[in-house]
Amino acid sequence: MTNQADWAESARQFQQMIGESWTKMLQTMQPSQVQAAGALPTPAPVRLAPDKLATLQQQYLKDAQTLWSQGLQPGAGIASDKRFAGEGWAQNPLSAFSAAVYQLQARTLMGLADAVEGDEKTRARIRFGLEQWLAATAPSNFLAFNADAQKAAIETKGESIAKGIANLLRDMQQGHISMTDESRFEVGHNVATTEGAVVFENELFQLLEYKPLTAKVYERPLLMVPPCINKYYILDLQPDNSLIRYAVAQGHRTFVVSWVNPDVSLSQKTWDDYIEDAVLTAIDTVQKISGADQINALGFCVGGTMLANALAVLAARGKEPVASATFLTTLIDFANTGILDVFIDEPFVRMRELQMGQGGLMKGQDLASTFSFLRPNDLVWNYVVGNYLKGETPPPFDLLYWNSDSTNLPGPYYAWYLRNFYLENNLVKPGQLTVCGESLDMGQVAVPAYIYGSREDHIVPIEAAYASTQVLNGDKRFVMGASGHIAGVINPPVKKKRSHWLREDGEFPADLQDWLDGATELPGSWWDDWSDWLKGHAGAQVVAPKSYGKSPKFKVIEPAPGRYVKQKA
């Protein structure tokens, strides 16, 4: 039976483990050059708050006594957790007991992490490291304890194990865990199928123009700038959940940036290159093709940050080619970067600058793995169990196919982005940044803006999305949607899913909660609200063009979705 002496020793060992792990984590985050440059800080001793430690001790002893008294009763002590929700866990006493012990230890370890005395970033890093370790060591991840996997092996006479090994070998060959049946999807065949054509290209992007679905279109075209860390077709997965097709159906002459998947020939490209030769070039090209004095623009995630930079550059040059801007789950003010903040500090950024700041590639698979491990149970270990222990083939899911279609980034672009936005938050500091030869001041950006944030977004926290209302100076409309970074955005009205929140008085208090206090929850998608807003900035309706581009300079190069989106990392 656990006693107080055992508990005290366990707490001491935990404190020592956290201190050693924290030191090792900092050391492994930097190469020797960074350490030699003096960038590696000396980690402060890790101490635990005595009052919190005493409370945890009492709770642990109480829960442990209850668990031991229940013994190996079927299903005893297992708290609600979908990893242990199958019939096998409740019926197998050993598996049930292992799950219950695991949950007790996990609760206690996370409590100890919260009891660490220090700054919040230190506690966040310790919590993040513990969450990764706990997710990896769950009994559900091991055949010896996973009763559901054992049951499948018995029922299939070992076939599930054979399939699991085959799945493992296939995933090792392709270099990533399969989240969906990737054989069921093909870009241009059953994803990214909205009819259109490539009407311009350079070494960084192709410009796609889409065939009108209405007899008349608005005179101001719409340009979409997706994130360059992913493929553009998140905006065009299937016809019934395609934001691109929806915009076309609403009467907007729609253009989309399709980013190149960089290889070593582009490993020297910088943030300035992507703003000048991509975003600004795309804006100018859409103007020339359409003949419009102004266009409307939309930026999604990093694409929104790039659009904001481009607008600030244009403002510094005294130009106003953009009539309105839509920002979807976009960071402009990087004061709150959510869980990603655990990675960002001076040593980490200096490491990246030394590794690739002067050239190189940030591999797409490394980026994809980082984002997956932000939600390890759902996006990593869930598939380890299903694919390898149970021998299952994950069902076809277009969004997860897109999620696995990774994209590289040029090293100089990536390193500059880390320092100037995530680390130093320079975009909201007037005159602090020079981009494309211009000193940036977001206060000069006065275009009308539609700003969207997702309530459960773990990449762009809702508070960070809302913070753009305090930075942009034009007329603004803010909407909060339910769900996360992707599912909140890709939420077509026909699905009648989720909710969104609006406030019609035009007030934008500094604190999100104050805004929410005056907001109204509305059922369903926010897309129709955005469409109504955008039409107010789209000008008169004119006869839809009969052909793509504008000959002879902007003739059709190839049908959409084009070559660039099909390039693999």
- CA-based radius of gyration for the chain: 26
Strand partners, 327: 299, 451
Q: Which two tokens stand for residue 413?
A: 């672009």
Domain assignment of residue 352, yes or no: no
Domain assignment of residue 112, yes or no: yes
Domain assignment of residue 166, yes or no: no
- Judged on CB neighbours under 10 Å (0-12, 13-18, 19+), 144 is exposed
- The pLDDT score that the predictor gives to residue 40 is 44
- The pLDDT score that the predictor gives to residue 255 is 98
Domain assignment of residue 390, yes or no: no
Three-class DSSP category at 259: strand
Asked which of 128, 154, 180 is the last residue of a domain, the reply is 154
Reported as a single tens digit per residue, the pLDDT across 92-106 is 888 888 888 899 999
* Closest to 11 (Cα-Cα) out of 100, 101, 116: 116
Q: What percent of the chain has pLDDT over 70?
A: 91
**Which residue, chain included where needed, has tokens 């999807």?**
185
Domain assignment of residue 256, yes or no: yes
- Judged on CB neighbours under 10 Å (0-12, 13-18, 19+), 506 is exposed
Handedness of CA 267, 273, 277, 282 (dihedral sign): positive
Residue 5 or residue 548, greater confidence:
548
Residues 329 and 438 occupy one common structural domain: yes
Q: Which two tokens stand for residue 348?
A: 């980490």
Strand partners, 481: 454, 500
Residues 245 and 130 occupy one common structural domain: no
Could you give the CA distance from residue 384 to residue 387 in angstroms, rounded to a whole number? 5
Residue 158: left (phi > 0), alpha (psi -120 to 50), or beta? left
Residue type, 185: F
pLDDT-derived band at 117 (thresholds 50, 70, 90) equals confident
pLDDT-derived band at 366 (thresholds 50, 70, 90) equals confident
Reported as a single tens digit per residue, the pLDDT across 446-488 is 999 999 999 999 999 999 999 999 999 999 999 999 999 999 9
- CATH number where 299 lies: 3.40.50.1820
The residue-averaged pLDDT of 287-298 equals 96
Residue type, 465: A
Is residue 130 within 8 Å of 120, Cβ to Cβ?
Answer: no
CA atoms within 13 A on the CB side of 223: 31
Residues 63 and 129 occupy one common structural domain: yes
- The pLDDT score that the predictor gives to residue 14 is 46
DSSP secondary structure letters along 380-437: IIHHHIIIIIS-PPPPP-HHHHHHHS---EEHHHHHHHIIIIIIT-GGGSTTS-EETT
List of E strands, 396-554: 409-410, 434-435, 438-439, 449-454, 476-481, 499-502, 520-523, 541-543
Q: Which two tokens stand for residue 200?
A: 């311009």
How many structural domains compose the chain? 2
Residues 128 and 226 occupy one common structural domain: no
Asked which of 154, 186, 217 is the last residue of a domain, the reply is 154
Domain assignment of residue 373, yes or no: no
Q: Is the pLDDT of residue 121 over 90?
A: no
- Non-local (6+) Cβ contacts of 99 within 8 A are 78, 81, 83, 84, 89, 139, 140, 145
Q: Which two tokens stand for residue 333?
A: 């003010």
Asked which of 134, 154, 174 is the last residue of a domain, the reply is 154
Residues 8 and 137 occupy one common structural domain: yes
C-alpha distances (whole Å) from 236 to each of 240, 254, 435 are 9, 12, 31
Three-class DSSP category at 272: helix
Exposed e or buried b per residue across 460-483, where buried means at least 16 C-beta atoms within 10 angstroms of its C-beta: bbbbbbbbbbebbeeebbbbbbbb
Q: Is the pLDDT of residue 12 over 90?
A: no
Q: What number of residues does the chain have?
A: 569
Reported as a single tens digit per residue, the pLDDT across 46-92 is 688 888 888 888 888 888 888 877 766 655 557 788 898 888 888 88
Report the run of H or E that residue 222 belongs to, with start and end: strand 222-225
Q: Which residues are catalytic?
A: 301
Q: Which of 57-66, 127-136, 433-442, 541-550 has the lowest mean pLDDT?
A: 57-66
Domain assignment of residue 465, yes or no: yes
Is residue 529 within 8 Å of 504, Cβ to Cβ?
Answer: no
Residue 68 phi, psi (nearest 5): -65, -35
- The pLDDT score that the predictor gives to residue 422 is 96
Residues 54 and 106 occupy one common structural domain: yes
Residues 467 and 540 occupy one common structural domain: yes
Domain extent at residue 9: 4-154
pLDDT-derived band at 44 (thresholds 50, 70, 90) equals low
- The pLDDT score that the predictor gives to residue 16 is 52
Residues 148 and 243 occupy one common structural domain: no
Strand 322-328 and strand 449-454: the pairing is parallel
Residues 543 and 445 occupy one common structural domain: yes
SS3 track for 56-88: HHHHHHHHHHHHHHHCCCCCCCCCCCHHHCCHH
Residues 441 and 555 occupy one common structural domain: yes
Domain assignment of residue 220, yes or no: yes
Reported as a single tens digit per residue, the pLDDT across 544-560 is 999 998 867 899 999 99
Could you give the CA distance from residue 479 to residue 465 in angstroms, rounded to a whole number? 10
- The pLDDT score that the predictor gives to residue 27 is 40
Strand 216-218 and strand 541-543: the pairing is antiparallel
Residues 125 and 224 occupy one common structural domain: no
Reported as a single tens digit per residue, the pLDDT across 138-148 is 999 999 999 99
Residues 143 and 218 occupy one common structural domain: no
Strand partners, 255: 209, 223
The residue-averaged pLDDT of 486-495 equals 94
